[in-house]
Amino acid sequence: MRHRWFVVSFLMSCMAGPAAAQSVCDVTYTAQDGETPSHVAQRHYADPARWTWVTAANPDLAQGQAEPFAQGDQVFIPCMAPNTAGPAAQPLQDTGLMLLAPDGVAPLVSRTWPAQGMFNDLLAAALSESVAPLTHAIAWQDKAYGLDPQMLAGRELDMAVAMARPECSSDPAPAICARFHFSDPVVMVPLLLFARADANFSFDSTADLAGLRLCQPAGHDAQDADQNGQPWPSDDTIELETPERPEACFEMLMEEQVDAVALNALTGSSTIAAMGLNKQVKAFGKPLAQQTLQIAVPKVHWRGTTVIYRVNSGLAALRASGRYDQIVDRHMALLWNRLN
Residues lying near another protein in the complex (CB under 8 A):
91-93, 131-132, 153, 155, 178, 299-303, 305-306, 309-310, 312
Distance from chain centroid for Cα 287: 18
Burial status of residue 320 (CB atoms within 10 A of its CB: 0-12, 13-18, 19 or more): exposed
Phi-psi region of 165 (alpha: psi -120 to 50; beta: other; left: phi over 0): beta
Query: CB of 172: closest distance to another protein in angstroms?
Result: 13
Query: CB of 155: closest distance to another protein in angstroms?
Result: 6
Which C-beta is closer to another protein: that of 303 or that of 319? 303
Do 187 and 108 form a contact (C-beta atoms < 8 A)? yes
Query: CB of 267: closest distance to another protein in angstroms?
Result: 32
Query: CB of 25: closest distance to another protein in angstroms?
Result: 34
Which C-beta is closer to another protein: that of 46 or that of 311? 311
Which C-beta is closer to another protein: that of 5 or that of 309? 309
Query: CB of 305: closest distance to another protein in angstroms?
Result: 6
Which C-beta is closer to another protein: that of 243 or that of 304? 304
Which C-beta is closer to another protein: that of 57 or that of 296? 296
CA dist., res. 213 & res. 309, Å (int): 41
Residues in a beta bridge with 289: 191
Q: Phi and psi (nearest 5°) for 92?
A: -55, -35
CA dist., res. 130 & res. 165, Å (int): 22
Do 10 and 336 form a contact (C-beta atoms < 8 A)? no
